[in-house]
């Protein structure tokens, strides 16, 4: 199993659609979880942390299932400005507590 | 605050040349990192540092060196550049390891020809 694995995408959706991204991670001892957004030819930027109880930030909802080692990101009412690559990111914990491990990313294009 | 600043933004190197990618942060973060990102691939950790004077290898350190003489600066040195080092390089920093995410610099796009 890859350390952090995401839907390969790409996703093409119309404005206003709801889109969900899925991610799995290999290490059950992983400690913290994030979704980052990366625009074309730009640096990754933190979108939101993912908490065990699930959390929401406006149109974005993140869920964590530790038993299944699964993370998700739901975007409701998609906007053109949501077009970007979404990176699933995990702190594997233990001896690797200092670093984050990144998935390859899922490209989202929101069409008018 | 400037955050994490990387220079240069773009560079073309010839095979065998050397260069230093500069990274500086003004947030007094202890942890600093260098990642490379190849097309269609996730970010791969090259080197990291948990504080001034302390550095360690990541997943893909071969062909690179780093130093951390101050809290603010974490330069990445490429010796004898090879085409396989063509990539986008990101420097990042964090205050308390990885539990609160990173702040990234804007990247250096390097081409080795």
B98 in contact with A, Cβ within 8 Å: yes
User: What DSSP string describes A56-109?
Assistant: EETTEEEEEETTTTEEEEEE-S--GGG-EEEEEEEEEETTEEEEEEE---EEEE
- The phi, psi pair for B11, rounded to 5°, reads -160, 140
**A33 to chain B, closest Cα gap in Å:** 8
B105 in contact with A, Cβ within 8 Å: yes
How far is CA A94 from each of CA A28, A30, A32, B44, rounded to the nearest angstrom? 10, 8, 11, 19
Whether residue A85 contacts residue A73, with contact meaning beta carbons closer than 8 Å, is answered with no
Number of Cβ within a 10 Å radius of residue B96: 10
Whether residue B16 contacts residue B81, with contact meaning beta carbons closer than 8 Å, is answered with yes
Residue B48 has its nearest CB partner, among A31, A99, A104, at: A99
Whether residues A98 and B101 touch (CB distance < 8 A) is answered with no
Question: Look-up: residue for tokens 């530790």?
Answer: A66
pLDDT of residue B104: 96
User: What DSSP string describes A20-59?
Assistant: EEEEEES-TT--EEEEEEE-TTS-EEEEEEE-TT-EEETT
For residue B8, the cross-strand partners are none
Q: What is the widest separation between alpha-carbon atoms in chain B?
A: 39
Q: CA-CA-CA-CA torsion for A34, B46, B26, A100, nearest 10 degrees?
A: 20
pLDDT of residue A60: 97
- The phi, psi pair for A83, rounded to 5°, reads -60, 120
Whether residues B98 and A91 touch (CB distance < 8 A) is answered with yes
Burial class of A28 by CB neighbour count within 10 A (0 to 12, 13 to 18, 19+):
exposed
pLDDT of residue B39: 85
Residue B106 has its nearest CB partner, among A34, A36, A43, at: A43
Which chain A residues contact residue B99 at CB under 8 A? Answer: 31-32, 91, 97
Q: Considering chain B, what percentage of its residues have pLDDT values greater than 90?
A: 87
What does DSSP assign to residue A18? -
d(CA A73, CA A63): 7
Question: Over the stretch A45-103, which tens digit does the pLDDT of each residue have?
Answer: 999 999 888 899 999 999 999 999 999 999 999 999 999 999 999 998 766 567 899 99
d(CA A21, CA A6): 8
Whether residues A104 and B40 touch (CB distance < 8 A) is answered with yes
B102 in contact with A, Cβ within 8 Å: yes
Name every residue whose Cβ is closer than 8 Å to that of residue B14 and which is 6 or more positions away in sequence. B81, B112, B113
Question: Over the stretch B71-107, which tens digit does the pLDDT of each residue have?
Answer: 999 999 998 999 999 999 999 999 877 778 899 999 9
Which chain B residues contact residue A34 at CB under 8 A? Answer: 101
Task: Tell me the pLDDT band of A5, cut-offs 50, 70 and 90.
Answer: very high
Question: Over the stretch A25-35, which tens digit does the pLDDT of each residue have?
Answer: 998 888 899 99
A32 in contact with B, Cβ within 8 Å: yes
d(CA B79, CA A7): 36
Whether residues A34 and B104 touch (CB distance < 8 A) is answered with no
């Amino acid at each position: 199993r890859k350390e952090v694995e995401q839907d390969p995408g790409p996703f093409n959706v119309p404005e206003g659609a709801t889109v969900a991204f899925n991610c799995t991670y290999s290490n059950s001892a992983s400690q913290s979880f994030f979704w980052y957004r990366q625009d074309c030819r730009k640096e990754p930027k933190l979108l939101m942390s993912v908490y065990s109880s699930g959390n929401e930030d406006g149109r974005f909802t993140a869920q964590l299932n530790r038993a299944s080692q699964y993370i998700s990101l739901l975007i409701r009412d998609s906007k053109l400005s949501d077009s970007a690559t979404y990176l699933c990111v995990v702190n594997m914990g233990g001896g690797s507590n200092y670093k984050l491990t990144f998935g390859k990313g899922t490209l989202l294009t929101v069409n008018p | 605050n400037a955050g994490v600043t990387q220079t240069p933004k773009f560079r073309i190197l010839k095979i065998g040349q050397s260069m230093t990618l500069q990274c500086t942060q003004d947030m007094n973060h202890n942890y600093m990192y260098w990642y490379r990102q190849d097309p269609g691939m996730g970010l791969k950790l090259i080197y990291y540092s948990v504080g001034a004077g302390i550095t360690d290898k990541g997943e893909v350190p071969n062909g690179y060196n780093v130093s951390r003489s101050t809290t603010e600066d974490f330069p990445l040195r490429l010796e004898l550049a090879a085409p396989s080092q063509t990539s986008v390089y990101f420097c990042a920093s964090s205050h308390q390891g990885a539990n609160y995410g990173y702040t990234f610099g804007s990247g250096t796009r390097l081409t080795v020809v």
